[in-house]
């Protein structure tokens, strides 16, 4: 019979599965960093401006990873 322990177990399993999403920002942010390095190599004097726009883009790409983290924490601490 399904009971409260089943619910807790599924919540914890779900928390782990949610974190898989973190692979996306990891890939995307790395690509952004790659083009940042390339751009600085081509125009070192623009390094400050290149860094600013790269960090902005990386910060925006981080959001879905944070969504997963929030959901995982909710599953773990409020539902398990």
Question: 42 to 71, contacts with its own copies by CB under 8 A?
Answer: 42-47, 49-69, 71
Applying the rule CB under 8 A, the residues between 10 and 49 that interact with its own copies are 10-47, 49
Cβ–Cβ < 8 Å for 25, 64: yes
Provide the minimum distance between the beta carbon of 73 and its own copies in the complex, in angstroms, as a whole number.
Answer: 8
Q: HEC states along 18-41?
A: HHHHHHHHHHHHHHHHHHHHHHHH
């Amino acid at each position: 019979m399904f009971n409260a322990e089943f619910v807790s177990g599924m919540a914890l399993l779900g928390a782990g599965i949610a974190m898989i999403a973190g692979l996306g920002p990891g890939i995307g942010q790395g690509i952004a960093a790659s083009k940042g390095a390339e751009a600085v190599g081509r125009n070192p004097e623009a390094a400050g401006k290149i860094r600013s726009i790269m960090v902005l883009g990386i910060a925006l790409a981080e959001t879905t990873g944070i969504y997963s983290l929030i959901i995982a924490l909710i599953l773990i601490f409020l539902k398990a």
